[in-house]
Amino acid sequence: MFRFLRREFGFAFGNVLLLLVVWAITDFVYVLPDTYYSLYVEAVGASPFLLGSVLSVAWLVMAFVQLAGGDWADREGRKTLIVAMSFGKALIFLVFAAAPSWQFILLGEILVSVSVISQPALMAIMADSLPPEKRGLGYSLSLVVGATSILSPIVAGILYSQYGLVIGMRIAYLIVSSAYLASGLIFLRLKETVKTERNKLSFTQVLRQYPKACKECLTVWRHIPKPMVILLVVFTPITFFVRMCIPYYSLYAIHHLNVDELQWATLQTYYSIIFHLSLLPIGKLVDVFGRKKPLVLSSVFFALGLALFVGGDVPRLYAFFFFSALGNTLVFTAYPSLQADLTPKEYRGKIMGFSNFIDCFSGSAALLLGGFLYESISPMIPFILQLVFMVATATATLALITEPKTRQD
C-alpha cells in the first residue's frame, strides 16, 4: 500500500504540498459567504440586475489585470505575486464584512479582482511543479483538498439560523480574512520555479510596465501550437454562458422553485460530497484515457443537469447537482491538464494570463447580460441559453479538439 501511494502521489511535496494546504484552507472559507452571497447583496440593497452589474464590473477589472499578471509571472517570478496578493486579500475581505450597502460590495469586488492578478502565477507554479504524466491526478488532488468545503454550506446555514443573513455573512467574511492571512504566511515557503529578471517588484514598476506586459501576453500566441488556440476558441463561448448564470442559481431556486435557505445549503453540501468523491477516480481516468473524452462528457452532464434544474422540484435538484458535480470534476481536471500539455513552460504564465483575460472579459459581459435577462425578460432564460450552448460545446469538442502526441514538461 505504501509503495502504491508513493508511486501515485510522490509528486505531492514541496510547492505542490504548500499549494494543497492553502487550498484546503481557502476552499473551506470561501464557500462560507458564497452560499448566500446573492441573498446578501440583495439584502444590502441590490436588485438582480445590480447584482449582475456589480459582478460585471469586477470581472472587467479582473480581465485587464490577468494580462499583466501572466507576463509578470513569467518575467518577475511566481512567488512574489502569490504572497503579496494573499496578504492583500486578508485586508480586502474586511470590506465585505463591514459593507453597509451594495456600493461597498462593489468596492470589495473590484479590490478582489485586482488581487486576482496572482492567478496566472498560481496556475503556472502548479503546472511547473507537476510531472506531465501526473497532471490529471495532480489537478484532481488540488480539488480533493477542497473537500474541506463540504462542511461550508452547513456552517453557513448555522450562521444564518443563529445570527440572521446579514450578521451571519459578516462573521463569514471575517473568517475568510483570517484564512488569507494564514495563507500568505504559508506561501512565504514557496520556491520559485522560473529564473527571474528582478528580485523586486515595486508598484511604480507595475504601472510603468503594464502596457508592455499586456503586449507580451497578446503576442505570445505566435509561439503556441494551433490546438491550444482551438481549445480556447471552443471553450470561450460556453464559459460566457456559465458565468452568466452563476449568481442566479440560488435566487432562482429560492424565489421560483420554493427551496428554502437551509434546503439550499443541504443541496450544496450534497453537491460538494459528489464532487470530491469523484475527483481522484476521474483524475486517474484523465491521465490514462486522455483529456478529450472527459471534456465531451462534462458538457453532456452539464446539459442533462440544466434540463432538470429549470423546472425542478427538490428531487430534480438533487439530480441536477449530481450531474453538475460530475461535469465540474471532468472539466476542472481535463481542461487544465490539456492546457498544460499544449503550453511550453516559458510561455505558461502569459498563456494562462491571456486565457484568464478572455474568460474574465467575456464573463463581465455575461454577468451584465444575465442580470438583464433574469430581471427584465424571464428568470429561466439564462439557464435555457446555457443548456443550448452546452450541447454545442460537446459537439465542437468532439469534432475539433486534438491531444498532443508529446506533452509539454
The 10s digit of each residue's pLDDT in 141-189 is 777 787 888 888 889 989 998 999 999 999 999 999 999 999 999 998 8
- CB neighbours of residue 176 within 10 Å: 24
Q: 9: pLDDT confidence band, cut at 50, 70 and 90?
A: low
In contact, 274 and 150? CB cutoff 8 Å: no
Does residue 6 sit within a domain?
no
Per-residue cell: 175: 473568517
Expressed as residue numbers, the domain containing 65 is 11-400
Give me the mean pLDDT over the 93-106 stretch.
93
What's the confidence (pLDDT) of residue 122? 81
Q: What's the count of helices (H) and strands (E) in the chain, helices before strands?
A: 18, 0
Residue 337: closest CA among 126, 27, 121, 21:
126
The 10s digit of each residue's pLDDT in 313-341 is 888 999 999 999 999 988 888 888 887 77
Does residue 160 sit within a domain?
yes
Does residue 156 sit within a domain?
yes
Does residue 5 sit within a domain?
no
Separation between Cα atoms, residue 141 and residue 143, nearest integer Å: 5
Kindly report the three-state secondary structure assignment for every residue of 339-408. Answer: HHHHCCHHHHHHHHHHHHHHHHHHHHHHHHHHHHHHHHHCCCHHHHHHHHHHHHHHHHHHHHCCCCCCCC
Does residue 406 sit within a domain?
no
CATH number of the domain residue 191 falls in:
1.20.1250.20
Does residue 247 sit within a domain?
yes
- Convert 374-402 to b/e letters by CB count within 10 Å (16 or more is b): bbeeebebbbbbbbebbeebbebbeeebe
pLDDT at 4 over 60: no
Does residue 1 sit within a domain?
no
Structurally, the chain folds into a number of domains equal to 1
Question: For residue 199, what is the DSSP state?
Answer: S
Beta strands in 167-215 (DSSP E): none
- Three-class secondary structure of residue 12 per DSSP: coil
